[in-house]
């Protein structure tokens, strides 16, 4: 049986509006109401959750790259189901959302696959994963002609992060100026407020101390739960550690959500937006 060439949207009408016009209007509203200035960041960290919870933070993150000319977007995230010690690339040639189709840069995918056995072409992790899909409407709104490279890592590992960085370097060496990297990550897992805040604060502290090489180990040990921090390690390696960053916004208490009346005893996720710049 021939594999499907286009990944269909799986969380449409659940995580974000299912109608094209409503979805475009929703993304536009998050972008226009952000207090951030339009900028030219090289990397952003944007959360993955329903837009009513995370949309404000996503708008902040994408606002800081909205002045850039972007032809290619690497979308980096973790596998949230049945992870393996591998990096998964799609066999799909396009990803669909209600606002349109984004083509996969199959040439770059082939380069990555041939660079190291750690890379595997497998549609299953991508079909089941929401963390990349929720970023796509923002990319379509800003750069409808851009091509995407969805990348999902399995178990966190510094060794894998180094291999990913090496492969990315080879893939973008001649096109870095028109390439954007999006790390799709929440700042904590679904946890009680005290624990979610502790995990978030430790992640931000390690970042401030330039201890980004510790992210994979800290994830593996459950000390931090910024789920895609290992891919951020790979990007720091790609830029030889020469990145400055801004914490644009973050919250564990319901700020920016429609559920601001949560009690301290209830579980929640910490969301945030960060932007990174080549020094």
CATH value at residue 78: 3.40.830.10
Give the single-character DSSP code of 253.
Answer: S
Domain extent, residue 259, equals 6-278
Residue 256: what pLDDT? 46
Query: What angle is formed at CA 108 by the lines to CA 83 and CA 6, rounded to 5 degrees?
Result: 65
Give the single-character DSSP code of 214.
Answer: G
Strand-pair partners of 247:
274
Residue 2: what pLDDT? 47
What is the chain's Cα-based Rg? 17
Residue 84: what pLDDT? 82
Both tokens of residue 162? 């180094």
The answer to whether the predicted template modeling score (pTM) of the entire model surpasses 0.85 is yes
Distance CA 234, CA 31 (A): 28
Residue 75: what pLDDT? 98
Residue 261: what pLDDT? 45
112 located within any domain: yes
139 located within any domain: yes
The upper half-sphere exposure of residue 67, i.e. CA atoms within 13 Å in the direction of its Cβ, equals 8
1 located within any domain: no
Query: CB of 166 within 8 A of CB of 115?
Result: yes
Please tell me the total count of domains within the chain.
1
Both tokens of residue 22? 């409503």
Nearest to 80 by CA among 236, 228, 224, 202: 228
Q: In what order do the strands lie in the sheet with 147-153?
A: 119-121, 87-89, 147-153, 72-78, 179-184, 43-46, 271-278, 243-251
Ranges of the chain with pLDDT below 70: 1-3, 82, 253-265
CB burial readout 217-227, b (16+ within 10 A) else e: ebbeeeebbbb
Residue 135: what pLDDT? 98
């Amino acid at each position: 049986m021939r594999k499907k060439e286009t990944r269909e949207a799986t969380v449409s009408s659940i995580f974000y509006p299912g109608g094209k016009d409503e979805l475009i209007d929703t993304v536009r509203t998050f972008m226009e109401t952000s207090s951030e200035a339009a900028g030219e960041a090289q990397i952003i960290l944007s959360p993955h959750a329903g837009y009513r919870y995370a949309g404000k933070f996503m708008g902040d993150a994408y606002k800081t790259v909205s002045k850039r000319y972007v032809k290619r977007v690497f979308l980096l995230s973790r596998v949230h189901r049945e992870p393996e010690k591998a990096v998964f690339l799609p066999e799909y040639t396009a990803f669909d959302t209600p606002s349109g189709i984004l083509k996969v840069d199959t040439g770059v995918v082939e380069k990555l696959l041939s660079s190291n056995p750690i890379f595997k072409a497998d549609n299953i992790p991508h079909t089941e994963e929401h963390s990349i899909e929720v970023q796509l409407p923002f990319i379509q709104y800003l750069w409808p002609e851009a091509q995407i490279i969805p990348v999902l890592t399995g178990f966190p590992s510094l060794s894998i992060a180094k291999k990913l960085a090496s492969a990315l370097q080879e893939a973008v060496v001649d096109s870095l100026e028109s390439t954007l990297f999006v790390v799709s990550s929440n700042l904590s897992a679904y946890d009680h407020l005290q624990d979610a805040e502790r995990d978030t604060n430790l992640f931000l502290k390690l970042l401030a101390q330039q201890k980004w090489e510790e992210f994979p180990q800290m994830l593996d040990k459950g000390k931090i739960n910024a789920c895609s921090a290992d891919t951020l390690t790979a990007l720091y390696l790609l830029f030889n550690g020469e990145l400055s960053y801004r914490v644009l916004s973050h919250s564990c208490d319901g700020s920016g959500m429609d559920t601001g009346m949560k009690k301290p005893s209830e579980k929640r996720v910490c969301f945030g937006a960060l932007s990174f710049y080549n020094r």
